[in-house]
Amino acid sequence: MSTEKLNLFGVTIDSKLNFNHNINNVCKKAIERIGVLMRLKNLIPTEAKLQLYKAAILPHLTYCHLTGHFCKANDRRKLDRIQERGLRAVFNEKLSSYEKLLAKADIPSMYNRRLQVIAVFMYKIKHKLLPQRLCNLFQFDSGSYHVRKREFVQPRFSSVIYGKHSLHYIGPKLWNNLTSRIRNQPSLKQFKSFIRNQDLTALASNVSDCRGCNLRQEGRTKLLKYVSTVNDINF
């Protein structure tokens, strides 16, 4: 018997493996709890609300949340929008930026958290802390001619959707962009402790090799510089 979607250990798997149903379910559960937090915003202190957020809402957003890294861009952004809404309920602020709210709560963005999980996964692959079948999916780079030595071979794909948008591609790419100080932590516990304090979003632009995306970004940068120059002249 075939089905369009299947719930397995709390994760909704659909027939196309795009996980949009799972993202919607996660967001629905989180929104319900954020609504309760909103009604309590003037009744309990901020520290208590933050603890409630971390204990009752954040676990829903982070449960198997690596699947959300390979969804559509709009679905990925939903998770950060939900977290932003929750933090605004915690601190009772409407004007502060998302980055300031994250700094006050001392937690990473959902996007940065997923990059950290990918980095931890690649550390386990490097040190063979995962089943051999998973380790065999990644090839170690034995070449010695690189100026900055890469530890994993970067696979080549002709398809952006079914190749570059995968853990098989993003994992080695992200790991090779990490500094040697991060990669050479002596134990998994120390690596996790170290990586949790790192903002890996700065490496996100280097994770994608999509020429179209890079050209669009270059175009936006040039346009902003041009507009800024024109405004300075007019002023």
Domain ranges of the chain: 5-107, 113-234
Q: Which of 131-135, 149-153, 175-179 has the lowest mean pLDDT?
A: 149-153
Quick: pLDDT tens for 190-204.
999 999 989 998 876
Q: According to the model, what pLDDT value does residue 8 have?
A: 86
Return the pLDDT at 205. Answer: 60
Q: pLDDT: is 143 or 215 the higher one? A: 143
Whole-structure pTM value: 0.79
User: For the segment 45-102, what is each residue's pLDDT rounded down to a tens digit?
Assistant: 999 999 999 999 999 999 988 887 888 888 888 999 999 999 999 999 988 999 999 9
Checking if the pLDDT of 22 tops 80, the result is yes
> Over the chain, what is the mean pLDDT?
82
Reading the block at residue 95, the tokens are: 């004007």
- SS3 for 47-89 is HHHHHHHHHHHHHHHHCCHHHHHHCCHHHHHHHHHHHHHHHHH
Q: What's the whole-number mean pLDDT along residues 139-157? A: 74
pLDDT band at 159 (very low <50, low <70, confident <90, very high): low
